[in-house]
Amino acid sequence: MTLELSPGVEPGDASSQAMEAWYMDDSEEDQREPHRLVPNQPVSPDRLRELGVFHWKLNADIYETDPELELIRKEQGYSYMDIISIHKDTLANYEEKLKMFFEEHLHLDDEIRYILDGQAYFDVRDKEERWIRIAMTKGDLITLPAGIYHRFTLDRTNYTKAMRLFVGEPVWKAYNRPADDFDIRQKYVASLQDPGA
């Protein structure tokens, strides 16, 4: 039997447990607050997939020996990995980095993050440029497509530990918005109009 691990689409098993996502309000309060609309306006995994955002739920307690993680890495070609602990006592230039992570930006490659401990938010723009907030908790592995505008923040708990995965040698370079002239951006925008492209 071949094990096909499609991100989050098999009903009934652990990998289908959806992350919670919602449209954000535009209030000026702290970025670490949830910023939900009232009433809350949830965003489904299908909607996220249309934006090219994929998700798996894994058992982070066994990440060092997890066959499911191994299989995903193999199938997706995630040869590189490291672990980043984001907390004021563990991350050099903590404040500065958090500020950087929260600037709206894109990358020329997919951003792949697996939350091993704690929690955090990834915000992504939808097709109409509205911010969607994705609540990441322990066990969530997410992939953001190259060219999507996004940002990252800790939540009120001020701590997360994440695995960073990458295809080949990692490139962390972020291009702050506006970065619309990159081919990868134009490709991404085109893929939103025609999801089959």
**CB within 8 A of 90, min separation 6: which ones?**
none
C-beta nearest to Ni ion: residue: 111
- Closer residue to Ni ion in complex, CB, 111/140: 111
Residue 192 contacts which entry, ligand KMT, Ni ion, none (Cβ below 5-8 A, type-dependent): none
Residue 113 contacts which entry, ligand KMT, Ni ion, none (Cβ below 5-8 A, type-dependent): ligand KMT
Query: What burial class does residue 113 get, using C-beta atoms within 10 Å of its C-beta: 0-12 exposed, 13-18 middle, 19+ buried?
Result: buried
Whole-number Å distance between alpha carbons of 110 and 30? 28
C-beta nearest to ligand KMT: residue: 152
Nearest 5 degrees, angle CA 42-CA 8-CA 116?
90
Are β-strands 150-154 and 111-125 bridged in parallel, bridged antiparallel, or unpaired? antiparallel
Q: What DSSP designation does 36 have?
A: B
> Shortest approach of Ni ion to residue 12 CB, angstroms?
32
**Binding flag, residue 123, Ni ion (CB under 5 A):** no
**Binding flag, residue 111, Ni ion (CB under 5 A):** yes
- Closer residue to ligand KMT in complex, CB, 73/113: 113
- Closer residue to Ni ion in complex, CB, 22/122: 122
Q: Which residues are 56's β-sheet partners? A: 141
Q: Which residues are annotated as a binding site for Ni(2+)?
A: 105, 107, 111, 150
Which positions make up the binding site for Fe(2+)?
A: 105, 107, 111, 150
